[in-house]
């Protein structure tokens, strides 16, 4: 581990570790307030004596504390995750060992929902493609092909949690019809619950994925769901790449079985399959929460969780699996 010495630290050196890169200002505060150690990317390079000192790990959804790293940290007490999604952290092991995990819900909901709306508008109206058309000097040879109307369409929301509901509220302002799927119907919302992802896709002009990643949602959007979406239907994914069977998506696009896709997330980031880089696919490099304001809010909530843990206070935003909720 790389020691970043800070003699003013209020906690013992070596007790707080960082896994993976973090927002620069978060890294700076962690250095200023604590004696932070940076864990090696390769768990095999972790010295067992160093590992035994680690009580807290600060990480991001991109890296997390996976099974092997958690197993190598025998005295770990808390994982504070920068991000609402924590599918890269082994929460089952954490729960079994009494390790707490925190995340950053709510503060990013608006920006991620804004991103979903941007992707939806782009796949229907093809603003990005038409801008490329103009920049490439093609306008003089004729107008851009007609696109599809988003207003008044049917939007299927797969996962109607914090972000899914924010997407639905925004889409409803475009006079769309909202339908959704969750394992349990959500009380108090004005939208129709449908029984399955296949049924949802069949009903939708655009299927928006907003479920968490992790083992229970791997390939939830598979070839059958894509076939149900049909040749006029679009897929938008702002959740996790693992939720969509990427090979099935490529095959559906190449066969014209769906109309197009808008993707902020991929199965193996930052690697994007060459075959997905197509004109009918809008591709974003996982920027859903990527505004200065939201990333600062995420940083502050990450720190609030860490500080609460260090002070022995109630954690602001523990994840349900490790908080007994
Ligand atoms: P949330 O409030 O926990 O909502 C998750 C929703 O998914 C709930 O409605 C849940 O309802 C539903 N769900 C879970 N498993 C399901 C399944 N198998 N089938 C159908 N519905 C299912 O989470 P959130 O705050 O909205 O965040 C959602 C996810 O967005 C995060 O976990 C993260 O992966 C992703 N995200 C991406 C970005 C980005 O930058 N692109 C940023 C933030 C978050 P039930 O439990 O009743 O099924
Ligand atoms: C972050 C995210 O970009 O919160 C999430 O789940 O996917 C994004 O907000 C990511 O967690 C940072 O690694």
Instruction: Enter the DSSP assignment of 154.
Output: E
Domain 13-105+292-323 matches domain 109-283 at the CATH topology level: yes
C-beta separation of 150 from 125 below 8 A: yes
Note if 170 is an active site residue.
no
Q: For the segment 292-319, what is each residue's pLDDT rounded down to a tens digit?
A: 999 999 999 999 999 999 999 999 999 9
pLDDT tops 60 at residue 265: yes
Instruction: State the pLDDT at residue 32.
Output: 92
Confidence of residue 34 (pLDDT cuts 50, 70, 90): confident
Cα 255 to averaged position of ligand 2 atoms, centre (Å): 32
Rounded to 5 degrees, φ, ψ at 186 are -90, 130
Mutate to test the pocket of ligand 1, among 182, 242, 325 (most ligand atoms within 8 A of CB): 182
State the closest ligand 1 atom to the C-alpha of 109, by its place in the atom list counted from 1.
Answer: 25
Mutate to test the pocket of ligand 1, among 211, 216, 289, 291 (most ligand atoms within 8 A of CB): 211
Nearest ligand to residue 84 Cα: 2
Q: Which of 202, 227, 240, 299 is catalytic?
A: 240
Confidence of residue 10 (pLDDT cuts 50, 70, 90): very low
State the closest ligand 2 atom to the C-alpha of 85, by its place in the atom list counted from 1.
Answer: 6
Q: What is the signed CA dihedral for 116, 186, 100, 238, rounded to 10 degrees?
A: -10
Instruction: State the pLDDT at residue 1.
Output: 58
Cβ–ligand 1 distance for 195 under 6 Å, the answer: no
Burial class (CB in 10 A: 0-12, 13-18, 19+), 317: buried
Note if 240 is an active site residue.
yes
Nearest ligand to residue 181 Cα: 1
Q: For the segment 104-131, what is each residue's pLDDT rounded down to a tens digit?
A: 999 999 999 999 999 999 999 999 999 9
The dihedral sign for the CA sequence 91, 94, 96, 100: negative
Cβ–ligand 2 distance for 60 under 6 Å, the answer: yes
Q: Which of 126, 202, 203, 286 is catalytic?
A: 286
Class of domain 13-105+292-323: alpha beta
Domain 109-283 has CATH 3.30.465.10: no
* Strand 36-38, strand 2-3: pairing: antiparallel
Q: For the segment 57-91, what is each residue's pLDDT rounded down to a tens digit?
A: 999 999 999 999 999 999 999 999 999 999 999 99
Q: If you average pLDDT over every residue of the chain, what do you get?
A: 95
The arithmetic mean of pLDDT across residues 163-167, rounded, is 99
Instruction: State the pLDDT at residue 15.
Output: 84
Mutate to test the pocket of ligand 2, among 18, 288, 294 (most ligand atoms within 8 A of CB): 288
The arithmetic mean of pLDDT across residues 141-169, rounded, is 98
Q: For the segment 193-209, what is each residue's pLDDT rounded down to a tens digit?
A: 999 999 999 999 999 99
pLDDT tops 70 at residue 167: yes
State the closest ligand 2 atom to the C-alpha of 83, by its place in the atom list counted from 1.
Answer: 4
Cβ–ligand 2 distance for 214 under 6 Å, the answer: no
Domain ranges for the chain: 13-105+292-323, 109-283
Burial class (CB in 10 A: 0-12, 13-18, 19+), 225: buried
Cα 270 to averaged position of ligand 2 atoms, centre (Å): 13
Cβ–ligand 1 distance for 288 under 6 Å, the answer: yes
């Amino acid at each position: 581990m790389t020691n970043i010495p800070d003699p003013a630290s209020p906690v013992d050196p070596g007790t707080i570790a960082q896994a993976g890169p973090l927002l620069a200002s978060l890294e700076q505060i962690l250095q200023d307030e604590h004696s932070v150690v940076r864990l090696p990317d390769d768990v095999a390079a972790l010295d067992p004596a160093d590992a035994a000192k680690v009580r807290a790990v600060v990480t991001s959804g991109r890296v997390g504390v996976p099974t092997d790293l958690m197993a190598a940290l025998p005295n770990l007490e808390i994982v504070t995750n920068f991000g609402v999604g924590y599918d890269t952290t082994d929460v089952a092991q954490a729960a079994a060992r009494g390790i707490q995990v925190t995340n950053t819900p709510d503060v990013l909901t608006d920006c991620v929902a804004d991103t979903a709306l941007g992707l939806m508008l782009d796949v229907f109206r093809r603003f990005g493609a038409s801008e490329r058309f103009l920049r490439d000097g093609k306008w003089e040879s004729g107008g851009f092909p007609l696109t599809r109307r988003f207003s008044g369409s049917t939007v299927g929301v797969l996962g109607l949690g914090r972000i899914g509901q924010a997407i639905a509220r925004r889409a409803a302002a475009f006079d769309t019809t909202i339908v959704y799927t969750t394992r349990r119907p959500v009380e108090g919302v004005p939208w129709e619950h449908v029984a399955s992802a296949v049924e949802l896709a069949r009903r939708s002009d655009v299927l928006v994925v907003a479920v968490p990643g992790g083992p229970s949602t791997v390939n939830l959007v598979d070839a059958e769901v894509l076939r149900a979406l049909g040749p006029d239907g679009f897929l938008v994914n702002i959740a996790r790449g693992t939720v969509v069977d990427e090979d099935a998506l490529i095959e559906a696009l190449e066969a014209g079985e769906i109309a197009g896709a808008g993707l902020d997330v991929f199965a193996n980031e930052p690697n994007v399959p060459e075959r997905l880089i197509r004109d009918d696919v809008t591709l974003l490099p996982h920027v859903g929460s990527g505004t200065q304001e939201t990333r600062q809010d995420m940083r502050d909530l990450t720190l609030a969780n860490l500080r609460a843990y260090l002070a022995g206070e109630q954690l602001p935003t523990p994840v349900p699996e490790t908080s007994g909720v």
